[in-house]
């Protein structure tokens, strides 16, 4: 268990550092505030997690530790949006109503709580 945690932490650290680098690089190159860097990272993360999980399911990615490093660690650190997208897609094929509820509530509740908690700290 400890070994797996360290593998995920290593991948997560690398993913987080790369996310920061990409976001900052894009934000510095594009004037005015717009979350272009975050958008790019989320799109890349979704592409990567789909590829990696597909390869892992076809047993062409590697060992379970490599999967932990790249999928849970790297993709998880790079963007949690990739996991959100993968889980939503998985639900869509088996339980479409549950997928719609999960995706909708995640966005609405998440955005609402971020807004409310931000406003509460400013009061």
Work out the angle between the directed axes of helices 36-57 and 2-29 (0-180°, nearest 10). 140
pLDDT in tens, 14-30: 999 999 999 888 888 88
Give phi and psi for 35, each to the nearest 5: -80, 50
pLDDT in tens, 81-95: 888 888 888 899 899
- How wide is the angle at C-alpha 107 spanned by C-alphas 122 and 118, nearest 5°? 5
| Length in residues, the chain | 123
Quick check: 86 and 53 in contact, CB under 8 A? yes
Q: Could you tell me which of 56, 47, 53 has the C-alpha nearest to residue 81?
A: 47
Contacts of 11 (CB under 8 A, 6+ apart): 68, 69, 70, 72, 73, 74, 75, 76, 77
What are the tokens at 105? Answer: 């509530």
The Cα diameter of the chain in Å comes to: 53
Specify the range with the lowest mean pLDDT, choosing from 23-37, 38-52, 68-82: 23-37
Contacts of 31 (CB under 8 A, 6+ apart): none
Predicted local confidence at residue 82, as pLDDT: 83
Average pLDDT, the chain: 89
């Amino acid at each position: 268990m400890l070994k797996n945690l360290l593998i995920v932490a290593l991948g997560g650290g690398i993913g987080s550092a790369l996310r920061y680098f990409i976001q900052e690089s894009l934000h510095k190159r594009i004037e005015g505030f717009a979350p272009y860097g975050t958008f790019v990272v989320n799109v890349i993360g979704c592409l990567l997690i789909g590829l990696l999980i597909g390869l892992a399911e076809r047993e062409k990615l590697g060992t379970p530790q490599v999967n932990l490093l790249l999928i849970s660690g790297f993709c998880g650190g790079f963007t949690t949006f990739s996991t959100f997208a993968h889980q939503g897609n998985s639900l869509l094929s088996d339980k479409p109503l549950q997928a719609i509820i999960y995706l909708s509530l995640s966005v609405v509740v998440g955005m609402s709580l971020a807004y409310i908690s931000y406003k509460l700290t400013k009061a």
